[in-house]
Structure 1
Amino acid sequence: GIGACLNLFSNELLKAQDKGVLMKNGDSQFKIVFTLAVSARECIIGIAGNGLITVIHGAEWVRGKRLPVGDCILLILSFSRLLLQIWMMLENTYSLLFWVIYNEQRVYILFKTTVMFLNFSNLWLAAWISIFYCLRIASFTHPWFSVMKRKVMGLVRLPLFFSSCSSFPFSKGIFDVYVNNSVPVPSSSSTEKVYFSETNVGNLVTTLYLGIFIPLIMFMLAATLLIISLKRPTFHMKSNVTGSRDPSMEAHLGAIKAMSYFLIFYILNAAALFLCISSIFAANSSWNILCKIIMAACPAGHSVLLILGNPGLKRAWKRFQHQVHLYL
């Protein structure tokens, strides 16, 4: 249970302190344990949700069935998020418990490059699926929409290409980690290790532009166009319905609500990622920890929304829950 997890984290924290592996930076054990417990729970929910979507659509693809374009993009997105949340659990554990190991230059670059690639893939693929639904559902007649409808699946490699371009600079030293072993502790005769990083601002700006701002703008435009397109017939249906609510109107309202939630999740995720990359807050400050919690929560929350909004996925999720309860 959660109590056992907290005890385990506390024991690991004490062991790390005894071995001198954990950086003594004045943070309370409670903050570290709380962060690990909350982010781990969010990641586990995300792993379960995205894992379910990946298994269901992946099994259809393995059996040789031709997946619709939307399901193909959703399969790639869910698999990317599955890897992201597994890696985030690993990074959070090392960054909060094992500072000395985590801040070795090669280890730090490995963690940062991988987590940035997966985060950028998440943003780009989420923007791409938003564009796909906008093109499929929106009632716009401009010729550009017809061209994009035909090419959207063929261009799905672009998000992965841009994600690679955005994360590659991290492998070449956007951040250089330094350590000062002799910083005096106030009101004490002892010293502590303090880690800090130097940022290559030019590479960082390029990375933020390619990895966050471009997909964010694309997503917001697609989501806004889709919501506007869905609202028009909804208002028309509302004016014509006099008795019970029309099922078609209910479907439109549900789609508007789901897209609005998706938009909120996306903006929060992009903002938290931007703040983390920019190193505005100290590594283990409360604000930085909040950003990490948001980054773990948003992909998990959206996977839950996707499952609840899809009858087939919802039935599979209920069967999965039933099997888990039987096993436990």
Structure 2
Amino acid sequence: MCEICSSPEEKPSMFVIIISFTISGTECIIGITGNGFIMAINGTEWVQNRKFSTSGRILFFLSLSRIALQTRMMIENFASLIFLSFYKEDTIYELFRVIFMFLTFCSLWFATWLSIFYFVKIANFNNPLFLKLKWRITRLMPWLLLSSVIISFCNSVLFSLHVYNASCSDLILNPFSNSTKKKYNINTNMINLVVIYNVGMFIPLIMFILAALSLIISLKRHTLQMEINTIGSRNPSMEAHMGAIKAISSFLILYIFNFVALLLFMSNIFDENSFWNISCKIIMAAYPSGHSILLILGNPKLRNAWGTFQHQMKFCLKGRTS
């Protein structure tokens, strides 16, 4: 007697299901709400003005990629906890991974271009190359965003070709009755995973860090110039520098945690429903949610719009209860 292929892991306990759904589900809902708000504000601006500002365009596509990413997280979390055998099927499993990495790469690239755009617009350098970039960044940005999507797609496809290999193995249940059960196994090529993962993640990350360091250098030069000219310690340029540096630093901290959790999750070194694997899912869900909140709090236009939205919601709720 031989059974069809099934997942090697046992069904998760009710405690694991509740914890995973409650924490990561709440994080995903917060992230989808925050990114949906950012996308709605910038989309409304595009409809009203018939054009996108450069920062608005980047924020729109960054939010769109993260809404898709966290929606996919919720679907995969549900499938891995409730329909584990279906989730572990070869085609389904690879499809989840490819989509996941594509959206992750896109999200990182868009966040990198946002940081570079802030750096180019805020920093003050007399280098001819920098001045040329400052002048052309608005026209270049649509092509940079499009090229990021193409690069992200190519990198993500490599995961389905060279990283995961599904196989079925026979497990003898009873040697006397000759009964066996097919067990489904996911084999991960760790060398290919690390190479493809790092190529896809490190290039935008290095660009992101270079933009952050250059912005800090620009702030230091601006501060020294203010001291020489005996100008007050706070001015609009200083405020812009500090705001951008805080935003970039906060994103970098979130990204480092996400980078480690994502690599561990993709390597399959933990059981599907183990504490460590669930922890990785929680950290990965927190990253886009936390960054969307930081973007709203750090952007005056978004912060004011969020305050107006909250005020209108309170007014509507009071009207219904009265």
**Secondary structure of the structure 2 residue equivalent to 1:140:** coil
CA distance in 1, matches of 2:265, 2:218: 35
Matching of residues 86-235 of structure 1 within 5 Å = 86-149=71-134, 150-151=136-137, 152-153=140-141, 154-172=143-161, 174-178=163-167, 182=171, 195-201=184-190, 203-234=192-223
CA distance in 2, matches of 1:227, 1:41: 35
Q: Which residue of 2 aligns with 1:246?
A: 234
1:320 alignment partner, one of 306, 309, 321: 309
1:87-139 deviation line (CA, Å, top 9, x unaligned): 11111111122211101112112211111110111111111211111122122
CA distance in 1, matches of 2:203, 2:172: 41
TM value normalised by structure 2: 0.81
1:83 alignment partner, one of 62, 68, 91: 68
1:46 alignment partner, one of 19, 22, 31: 31
Q: Which residue of 1 aligns with 2:279?
A: 290
Amino acid at match of 2:72: W
CA distance in 1, matches of 2:215, 2:201: 21
Unaligned runs of 5+ in 2: 1-5, 174-179
Is 1:62 the equivalent of 2:50?
Answer: no
Aligned length: 300
1:5-51 deviation line (CA, Å, top 9, x unaligned): xxxxxxxxxxxxxxxx9975375432332122111111111101110
Rg larger in 1 or in 2? Answer: 2
Unaligned runs of 5+ in 1: 1-20, 185-190
C-alpha deviation, 1:77, in angstroms? 0.8
Q: Which residue of 2 aligns with 1:12?
A: none
**Secondary structure of the structure 2 residue equivalent to 1:155:** helix
**Which of the pair has the greater relative contact order for Cα pairs under 8 Å at 6+ separation?**
2
Q: Which residue of 2 aligns with 1:6?
A: none
**Secondary structure of the structure 2 residue equivalent to 1:25:** coil
- The percent of aligned pairs where both chains have the same amino acid is 48
RMSD value over aligned CA atoms? 3.0
TM value normalised by structure 1: 0.80
Is 1:274 the equivalent of 2:263?
Answer: yes
- The structure-2 alpha-carbon separation of the partners of 1:252 and 1:276, relative to structure 1 and needing over 3 Å to count, comes to same
CA distance in 2, matches of 1:192, 1:92: 26
